[in-house]
Chains A and B, each alone.
Chain A
Amino acid sequence: MFEDKRLLVTYSPHIRENRLTSKIMLSVVYALIPAIAVSIYYFGLHALRIYFLTIIFTLLFEALFLKIRSKSVSLNDNSALVTSLLLAMNLPPTSPWWLIMIGSFVAIIIGKQLFGGLGQNPFNPALVARVLLLIAWPARMNEWIMPQPIISGSFFDAVSTSTPLGEAKTEIITHGHIITNNLVDLTGSFLGDIGGSLGEVSALALILGGLFLLYRGIISWHIPATYIISFLSIIIPYWFFFPEKTIDPTSHLFAGGLMLGVFFMATDMVTTPITRIGQIIFGIGCGLITAVIRLFGGYPEGVSFAILIMNAFVPLIDYYIRPKSFGESR
């Protein structure tokens, strides 16, 4: 007879799928690599500095807070790393160190840990930080420089520029309509050769990352597809009837933070609905709000606000969109 106090007693099941939260988070990091690479290519040392500082600050704040709460300091769920990269990608290349520090603090402490840490935050931490910085330091957050490929060798010169969406907004506000023809350099915004936040400049790199996440099953098509479709369903008719009041839909898609938002922010598992139908509602809401802000709002960009607003609806959506239980009649 074998009787050992060390025979483990647990609930079933006794086997688990080999799919861990830390690995899911790591997949998101991998998916961001193309966009990170593009930003480093175009913004060189500026980009490296920002990535370095955000990673240091976010991990530091995370560790510090866990220490204060006497929890085991484990950064190995990789979620803080994802937040730090997303935050960095939402910052202008010339952000000063204190802006980055405040952003990291807001993202990790206010955005995530105060709610209970991993998985408990109702709002996307990186977006909470971005929006706070945008409102508190609008000038700092709208300081754009021309991308300069690393190979050009000029590491430190920074030529001021504007983002295509920002420029369009300014022209509409000051002149009532767009005056510059071909405001958006489409090839540029596809490849990354435009002014903007670190992570939003290359639509191509972001789409590649998004496809990787889709392929790995980390995200599903429901939010990205409905987001884009509902966004275009407002933008296209508006542009068709008032072509002088806004840039063309293709430019809307690829310039600015839409692709970053669609694939990496609006698909954040923690802050989006758990059911597929809920996700479709969420995506439609994001698309509509983004379009309305871009067309009629004071800000050139609407992605961050749209996602945060829809984040607030998630508990409600999850509560009311309950799938049909097997054999349930209703």
Chain B
Amino acid sequence: MTLFSFSGGVHPNDNKQITKDKIIEDLKLYRDDIVSIPFSQHLGAPSSAIVKKKDKVQTGQLIGSAEGMISANVHSSVTGVVEGITYAPNPILGRILSVNIKITDEDTDCIKINSSDSFIDMVKNAGIVGLGGATFPSHVKLSPPKKIDTFIVNGVECEPYLTCDYRLMVEKTEDILKGMDLIRKELKINNVIVAIEKNKPEAINIFKKYEKEYAFKVVPLKVVYPQGGEKQLIKSAIKKIVPEGKLPLEIGVIVHNVGTVLSIYDAFYNQKPLIERVVTVTGSVKEPKNLNVKIGTPVFKLIEACGGFVGKPRKIIMGGPMMGLTITSTNTPVTKSTSGILVFREENLPNMTSLNCIRCGKCVRTCPMGLVPPIMEQFSINEMYEKLTDWHVLNCIECGCCSYVCPSRRPLVAYFKTAKREVLTIVKQRAKNV
């Protein structure tokens, strides 16, 4: 039992009890239902359309092909007819080019991906991306230029309310372990760790049973948000620090979320592309659930499957309450990154009356990246992006701890998100000038 942890972090009420014992249910779609599958559900270049209007597509058929190295394939999650390629609402980009497919056949079969390929090609063909939230294309992570000696399976799920990873760990333990073994063998990794927060004792116990058989170690971690953040997790689990601005592979570590590992298992053993994922639907819905949802399903279908709203929804969040993004319409389709749908009513929302900073310093002590939010906020407001670089704004992981603890309710992390974008633009311009 190690309780070594990173410094900082917060302890929000996790509210996982609402859905933690709800067995994953398939969300069934019927004839004439429409899904909208975005071309860009991953970090990197959007995939390019390879279907057109009125095309017939089958479940598992490739509809968007990866463009370049950092990109990912997109497959149809249903069998039907392409109604058109239009824009669908999206919480990050506002609207996003998507394929609308009207279901014509409620089949359960799926076109298989080519099994003769190498492991990396299979992962790439299956369109697998990091399902923890960052949606980084997995094949890139799995072809490291350096020797990897530690592989950490991230089963932390530190976001409050979300239980999708937890349910997978409890229900699909062996599949996850097989996927894990696959990656270990492929990359010839000695040291494999499954990291789980201590508030999930059932998951810890189940994994412990397989420790000998699959030769890995379960590392229970202290319950603190953002324990599941990649760099925090590495520090807590193996006491190593990833240098600033570097990827974990620099120190010979890769981290994959349990959901990602499971999709890799599915791609390799069942030749199944990534066309569905588990989504925790919780908050003000009649019956909160963990649903296995086809990518592209509009959010209202998920709400319907949970018996509808309780009261009047005021805020609908895609993801968890700490890092999730708000959506404007329940027509927004579920993407590969959607880990949860959280519905808040007016009365669930905190009082957001903002006051001046009183310099209490709570954000400084809470920041898991050792940053100084109040000073960075001043530089952000004054658009002093050069100074912000000196104050390491690019090291901000946007976890939201600073905003969460601020007694004056200042939108700290919001400033830094904007600032990071600006700073990155400057960095890119510089690179071009050289």
Contact = CB atoms under 8 A, between A and B. Distances in A.
Interface of A: 1-4, 6-21, 23-24, 77, 79, 116-120, 269-270, 272-276, 318-319, 322-329
A13 B355 contact: no
B12 A17 contact: yes
B391 A322 contact: yes
B315 A8 contact: yes
B328 A326 contact: no
B57 interface: no
14 contacts: A13-B322, A14-B342, A16-B403, A16-B404, A20-B407, A21-B360, A117-B356, A119-B408, A269-B360, A323-B371, A325-B371, A325-B395, A327-B241, A327-B246
B374 interface: yes
Contact of B350 (A15, A117, A120): A15
B300 A1 contact: yes
A256 B369 CA distance: 43
A15 B12 contact: yes
A3 B328 contact: yes
A310 to B, nearest CB: 15
B315 A14 contact: yes
Given A7-B313, A17-B404, A322 B372 contact: yes
B316 interface: yes
B311 interface: no
A15 B316 contact: no
Contacts of B329: 1-3, 7
B108 interface: no
A326 B369 contact: yes
A119 B358 contact: yes
Interface of B: 6, 10, 12, 160, 231, 241-246, 298, 300, 303, 309, 313-317, 319, 321-331, 342, 344, 349-352, 355-362, 364-365, 368-372, 374-375, 391-392, 395, 398, 400, 403-409, 411, 413-414, 417
A118 B358 contact: yes
Given A274-B361, A318-B375, A15 B243 contact: no
B359 A119 contact: yes
Given A21-B358, A269-B358, A274-B372, A12 B407 contact: no
A77 B409 CA distance: 12
B160 A15 contact: yes
Contacts of A322: 372, 391
A9 B404 contact: no
Contacts of A9: 326, 328
A7 B328 contact: yes
Nearest to B414: A11
Report the 7 A-B pairs with minimum CB-CB distance, sorted nearest first. Answer: A13-B400, A119-B356, A11-B414, A327-B244, A16-B350, A274-B361, A325-B392
A1 B357 contact: no
Contacts of B12: 15, 17
B404 A15 contact: yes
A23 to B, nearest CB: 7
A325 B358 contact: no
A86 B274 CA distance: 64
B314 A6 contact: yes
A274 B359 CA distance: 6
Contacts of A326: 6, 231, 241, 244, 368-370, 395
Nearest to B244: A327
Given A2-B330, A8-B326, A325-B369, A14 B359 contact: no
B395 to A, nearest CB: 5
B321 A13 contact: yes
Nearest to A1: B300
B434 to A, nearest CB: 24
A12 B404 CA distance: 9
Contact of B10 (A3, A17, A275): A17
Contacts of A21: 355, 358, 360, 407-408
B358 to A, nearest CB: 5
Contacts of A325: 244, 369-371, 392, 395
Contacts of B245: 327
Nearest to B314: A8
A48 to B, nearest CB: 29
A119 B355 CA distance: 9
A318 to B, nearest CB: 6
Contacts of B244: 325-329
B316 to A, nearest CB: 6
A2 B370 contact: no
B404 A13 contact: yes
A119 B406 CA distance: 13
Contacts of B370: 323-326, 328
B361 to A, nearest CB: 4
A114 to B, nearest CB: 14
A117 B404 CA distance: 23
A1 B316 CA distance: 13
A125 to B, nearest CB: 13
A60 B100 CA distance: 63
Nearest to B394: A325
Contacts of B409: 16, 20
A9 B313 CA distance: 12
